[in-house]
Amino acid sequence: EPKLSGDFATLMGWADEVRRLKVRANAETPLDADTARKFGAEGIGLCRTEHMFFDADRIGSVRQMIMSETEGGRRAALEKLLPFQRSDFVELFRIMAGLPVTIRLLDPPLHEFLPHKDEELAEVAESLGADLATMKRRAADLSEANPMLGHRGCRLGVTFPEIYEMQARAIFEAALEIAEETGKPVVPEIMIPLVGMKKELEITRAQVDKVAKEVFEAKGKSVEYLVGTMIELPRAALTADRIAESADFFSFGTNDLTQTTFGLSRDDAGKFLPYYVEKDILPKDPFVSLDVEGVGALVEIAAEKGRKTKDKLKLGICGEHGGDPASIQFCETAGLDYVSCSPYRVPVARLAAAQAALSGGSDRTA
Ligand code: PEP
Ligand code: MG
């Protein structure tokens, strides 16, 4: 088992003795997962599955899936992606060896998957037996003025249920395989992105449950699993008591929550934010250090409402803020159970979590 060594390991050991917050990592590749464990991550808090679909041998099937105008066409493409996804999750579960792994179902800005170049369009046209003009029209139909506020996250899973069904199948088959291989339980945590309405979670959760039943019946064995949601839209935070009725856990996606609370694109923030910080209109870049006053208030509302519905509701954070010491201080105060950050920030997060615990989680502006 990989471990940090020497004085650094000793220091980390002291931090671990006092901290209350668990520290997980955001990881989707075996290398990330290995690194995360080496730095002491206690699980994966966010596996962004869309990152798994850009490999040269997969992107063609992904485009085929998105561009198909029929469910049959989408299913044919997903059939090709299933073995890739299954082996992705087998590797992650194997590396994480029984630690919790939160897998987020597909959440791409759709435009990242659409074919743009003529050769890409021609390739999809051939795989779908369609002509180039039809493909161009389809790509134009699917393209959006504001992809980050568009057909992404669970909206994709709601409108194309077969996508989340494929992913759920891959997760359950992989979990069964590793549970058998190791003789230890594997409890996947399946996370639904960009939920704004309880119905969205109900619908996608039902898809996951249906697939679980099918896989467990076919294999004659089962695993336990959790289904939870990201809280990354103000509407989700404000209706968290209702959403919690269908959720086993919440994970705060503070990148999107910051974007949607400020109404400020996370991709263009650099254009004028530095000026705002310089002029003290904002104390810090809210995409780096949690905006306690606004975004933090929504986190607190959601935590309180969620736990009013389920008092043991597991709460985490997986936005960039999960690796920022001042934000971790806030997470301690807000009563979260864990933070999840990039693998390389895990040691910093362990120290920050210890410091937050020692200061009683009271220093709201640290
Ligand atoms: C988030 O929005 O904070 C999040 C973790 O998801 P992503 O960055 O992938 O949108
Ligand atoms: Mg997000």
Residue 28: partners with Cβ closer than 8 Å, 6 or more residues away: 47, 48, 49, 51, 52, 88, 92
Q: What ipTM, to 2 d.p.?
A: 0.99
Query: What is the Cα–Cα distance from 135 to 67, expressed in whole angstroms?
Result: 7
Mean pLDDT, to the nearest integer, of 320-334? 97
Q: For ligand 1, say whether the CB of 48 is within 6 Å of any of its atoms.
A: yes
What percent of the chain clears pLDDT 70, i.e. is strictly above it? 98
The per-residue pLDDT for 109 is: 84
Q: What tokens appear for 63 in the block? A: 């485009």
Residues 211-258: tens digit of each pLDDT: 999 999 999 999 999 999 999 999 999 999 999 999 999 999 999 999
Query: What is the Cα–Cα distance from 286 to 289, expressed in whole angstroms?
Result: 5
Q: For ligand 1, say whether the CB of 253 is within 6 Å of any of its atoms.
A: yes
The per-residue pLDDT for 97 is: 94
Give, for ligand 1, the residue of 26, 44, 46, 53 to mutate: max count of ligand atoms closer than 8 Å to Cβ. 46
Q: For ligand 1, say whether the CB of 254 is within 6 Å of any of its atoms.
A: yes
Mean pLDDT, to the nearest integer, of 101-122? 92
Using the mean position of ligand 1's atoms as its centre, give its distance from the Cα of residue 264 in Å.
14
pLDDT(260) > 60: yes
Q: Where are the alpha helices (DSSP H) in the chain?
A: 6-18, 30-38, 56-67, 71-96, 118-128, 132-142, 154-159, 161-182, 198-219, 234-238, 240-243, 254-262, 273-278, 297-309, 325-334, 346-358
Query: What is the Cα–Cα distance from 109 to 152, expressed in whole angstroms?
Result: 5
What φ, ψ does residue 252 adopt, rounded to 5°?
-80, 120
Using the mean position of ligand 1's atoms as its centre, give its distance from the Cα of residue 256 in Å.
6
Residues 331-364: tens digit of each pLDDT: 999 999 999 999 999 999 999 999 999 997 554 4
pLDDT(2) > 60: no
The per-residue pLDDT for 361 is: 55
What φ, ψ does residue 97 adopt, rounded to 5°?
45, 55
Using the mean position of ligand 1's atoms as its centre, give its distance from the Cα of residue 19 in Å.
25
Using the mean position of ligand 1's atoms as its centre, give its distance from the Cα of residue 239 in Å.
19
Of 196, 254, 192, 181, give the one whose Cα is nearest residue 229: 192
Residues 128-144: tens digit of each pLDDT: 999 999 999 999 999 99
The per-residue pLDDT for 362 is: 53
Mean pLDDT, to the nearest integer, of 295-319? 98
Coil, strand, or helix at residue 341?
Answer: strand
Confidence of residue 92 (pLDDT cuts 50, 70, 90): very high
Q: Whose CA is nearest to atom 4 of ligand 1?
A: 253
What percent of the chain clears pLDDT 90, i.e. is strictly above it? 91
Residue 281: partners with Cβ closer than 8 Å, 6 or more residues away: none
Residues 42-83: tens digit of each pLDDT: 999 999 999 999 998 999 999 999 999 999 999 999 999 999
> Following DSSP, what letter does each residue of 193-259 receive, concatenated?
-S--SHHHHHHHHHHHHHHHHHHHHHHT-----EEEEEE-SHHHHHTHHHHGGG-SEEEE-HHHHHH
Using the mean position of ligand 1's atoms as its centre, give its distance from the Cα of residue 319 in Å.
5
Confidence of residue 366 (pLDDT cuts 50, 70, 90): very low
Q: For ligand 1, say whether the CB of 45 is within 6 Å of any of its atoms.
A: no
Predicted structure pTM score: 0.95
Give, for ligand 1, the residue of 28, 267, 318 to mutate: max count of ligand atoms closer than 8 Å to Cβ. 318
Q: For ligand 1, say whether the CB of 318 is within 6 Å of any of its atoms.
A: yes
For residues 300 and 5, which has the higher predicted lDDT (pLDDT)? 300
pLDDT(1) > 60: no
DSSP state of 160: S
Q: Checking phi first, is residue 224 left (phi over 0); if not, alpha (psi -120 to 50) or beta?
A: beta
